[in-house]
Structure 1
Amino acid sequence: MTIEAATLSTRRRWAILVCALVAAMTTTAATSGFAYVIPALHDGGMSLSSAATLAAVPTVGLTVAIIAWGLALDRYGERRILLVSILITLAGTIGAVVAVATDAGTVALGAALLVGGLGSGAANGASGRIVVGFFPADQRGTAMGVRQMAQPLGIAVLALTVPVIAATAGVAAALAVPVAVTAIGLLAVYFGIVDPTLPTSGPAAAPAGNPYRSSGYLWRIHGFSVLLVIGQSMLWTFVPAWLITGHGWTPLSAGVLVTVTQVFAAGGRIAAGRASDLWGSRMRPVRVIAVAAALTMAALAVADQFGSVLAPAIMVLATIATVADNGLAFTAIAEWAGPSWSGRALGVQNTAQYVTIAVTTPILGTMIERLGYPAVFGIVAAAPILALPLIPRDPRPREEPVDVPGER
């Protein structure tokens, strides 16, 4: 099912985007949901490194399949592939609940988490075609910022519900939250998403050829994104345990703070996207964000080392800074790659980031056990500084903006 961009009303275009946002939350549920039962597992005797290793399994599954999902998105369109992939994700999340409820063991649990991760890749790499196909160039940063709210909003839902349910009703009940999020995402795709018709000629037609061969622009985006995602992963995965086991917060109070933080982070992604539209640049805001991420992570390390009461507030600022760049990178990739390559290019982007997350999560867990949180916060603060030289200049666009009547 495809539709011409010019036939869509403004309301319908944004409604499709919101449905894509809800669909993308299924990836967050499948890949990050387990991390929020780490405090309960740790209290039950599991080591932090072992729990972190299990939490990385869905990311491994996502990483293995995400480029293949991107190719399928480019070839068959987003709606059809999203329906298939989210059904697989739903099977995996249900399997995780069953494995824990029946005490089937870590192998069965790991297998279910792996299936959920394998299915989640399409939702995470989708929406490039929707943003480029349905929105003019001077709105795409904002539109992608809205779409990229999926991760922080998904984290907010998980943080507010999963630790509390795990502490009061058990891990199996807590893992039902990702099942519910995935089911809602499936309904959003079925009832709300259509694909834009791809023009075969004219200024909005897809660029010819492999976009990776024309310059190093995409490769540099992948490079700096890998470094910037380390801080994001660190905060998303370990902040609940940092608050609960390190600072004595209750699961409820920790969940509320993380939820509020992620709502602000979601707003930060929209603000970054809007800034890129107003500045006419995707990369200039990224440089500002990288510096802010380094400064706030370093400040968090110092505050936590000295037991400052300001540490949680600084954590909020650091979280906002470490997630704000993601939508800008996605927008730049989708624009440069074009609608016939955006799925694969975003698949490469996500693969690079999720390989980094899968590798660094167990390492960070081990480092925290040996060195403590302040030292690891300080080490992670160096990653955005290393990313700065990799951030490219904005190129001349490979395509002209899609002309949507009534939007100028």
Structure 2
Amino acid sequence: MPSIQKKFSSHLSWQMLGWLLLVQILVAFVGRSLAPLGLLIGEDLSLTKAEIGMLPAALFLGQSLVSMPAGLLADKIGSRKLLMLLAVCLGVSFFLLTFTASLIPLLIIVVIGGIGYGASHPATNRGVMYWFPAEKRGTAMGIKQMGVTFGSAMAALLLLPAADYWGWRPALSMASVLLLTAGIVTYFSYKEPKEKKQARKPIINGSTLRNLKNLVKNKPLVLVSVSALILSGSQMMLNTYLVLFAYEKLNIGLFLSGTLLVVSEIGGSFGRIGWGVISDRLFNGERIIVLLIISLLAGWVSAVMAMLPTGTSYWMMIPIAFLFGVSVSGFNGIWMNATTELVPREQAGLATGFSITVGSWGVIIGPPLFGLILDVTGSFKMGWLFVTLIMIIVAYLSFSTMALLQKR
């Protein structure tokens, strides 16, 4: 009888992961559509490359504002209610975004949408944390985080051609309605684990401010968060400018340039699951050494990108885009696991919110800075070499984090 009950519980865990994954995919499908659609939005509104970089930066500014409050809210009300709230916030905001005609109102609405986008991580992470035991959590978190890259790939594969044919406004409107529908369906389908319901009263021991101070004093958590800041910024630099790089520098057609973003996001999806499995099985749950490997791979691929000549073929770009995606778009599951495992379990939501708040600043600063480098130098080479440089910094931070953990 206990074995049957355990099997049912395991089946239910993977079923609930499916709903978390669905929301994560559609949140990314809508929110991350700004990267593949950036070229068309920029042409429509006559934006510079730095201004195009402000679009994802605005999204993640919204995320940075909400990450810690959303983490507390996830700890308080659970994932189910928060999933619907964030779907409504992002879906309605991006639907209204399609009626804008200038940069400033566009950025304001994207920031509001970013609040819904940012809330998705604490909500879904909390679900994985409570539905899965530690020995399966790396794989489960990788699958859930795969939704981000899969949704982003869908945006490039489906929304970019649709936007090229009908215009970016109708395409984004339809995606927003789809997200709203999924949010409502998930609200009635997702269940909170019993353990979560029992643990809801003692949300955080002591005051929120005191626990936040403890997080700031947690040096490994801070170093992981700073590493995530750099990796997240690099990820969004790739997502925002890969299509432009292939289209303008390599003279690859718009549709094929868009498919390179799809390839990189497929690589990210493989990475999010693969790095989790590697961490669980090869490194016995050690997350930081995997972040080190990821940073070294990303730095090398970015250096290769910097050296590519004009006229590089589409087929040569496919493995390069894939490996770049495996690294900078594939690290998130490892990051989320490290974040939740460096603190007491009852503080997982707040720790996730704290780390995402820090990490979000990489995306706020990164794409506009990369675009500014392009505008000033007129060269993608300097932009990709900049990414290589900051990956060296991540490698150093990873070494430092491992040293700190060994002293514990």
Match runs of 1:187-202 below 5 Å: 187-198=184-195
Deviation at 1:64, TM superposition (A): 1.4
Deviation at 1:163, TM superposition (A): 2.1
Distance 2:67 2:322 in 1: 30
Match runs of 1:8-407 below 5 Å: 8-44=8-44, 45-97=46-98, 99-100=99-100, 103=101, 105-198=102-195, 210=211, 212=215, 215-278=218-281, 279-280=283-284, 281-302=286-307, 304-305=308-309, 307-309=311-313, 310-371=316-377, 372-391=379-398, 392-393=401-402, 395=405
Q: Can you give the 5+ residue segments of structure 2 that lack an aligned partner in the other structure?
A: none
Q: 1:54 to 1:260 in 2, by over 3 A?
A: closer
The C-alpha deviation readout for 1:115-150, integer Å capped at 9, x for no partner, is 211222211222333222221211111111001102
Q: 1:292 to 1:201 in 2, by over 3 A?
A: same
Aligned length: 386
Checking the alignment, whether the CA contact within 8 Å between 2:250 and 2:310 is kept in structure 1 is no
Deviation at 1:42, TM superposition (A): 3.8
Checking the alignment, whether the CA contact within 8 Å between 2:267 and 2:330 is kept in structure 1 is no
Distance 1:69 1:189 in 2: 18
Distance 2:56 2:134 in 1: 38
Distance 1:305 1:378 in 2: 14
Q: 1:223 to 1:107 in 2, by over 3 A?
A: closer
The 3-state SS of whatever aligns with 2:47 is coil
Q: Which residue identity does 1:244 align to in structure 2?
A: Y
TM-score (norm 1): 0.86
Pick the structure with more helix per residue: 2
Distance 1:319 1:125 in 2: 23
The 3-state SS of whatever aligns with 1:324 is coil
Q: 1:284 to 1:53 in 2, by over 3 A?
A: closer
The C-alpha deviation readout for 1:143-181, integer Å capped at 9, x for no partner, is 110011021101101111222222221121232254145
Deviation at 1:218, TM superposition (A): 1.1
Distance 2:167 2:196 in 1: 52
Deviation at 1:375, TM superposition (A): 1.6
Q: Can you give the 5+ residue segments of structure 1 that lack an aligned partner in the other structure?
A: 399-408
Q: What is the RMSD of the two structures over their aligned residues, measured on CA atoms?
A: 2.8
The 3-state SS of whatever aligns with 2:32 is helix
Task: Single out whichever of 173-182 and 260-269 deviates more from structure 2.
Answer: 173-182
Distance 1:375 1:57 in 2: 24
Checking the alignment, whether the CA contact within 8 Å between 1:29 and 1:181 is kept in structure 2 is no
Deviation at 1:273, TM superposition (A): 0.3
The 3-state SS of whatever aligns with 1:159 is helix
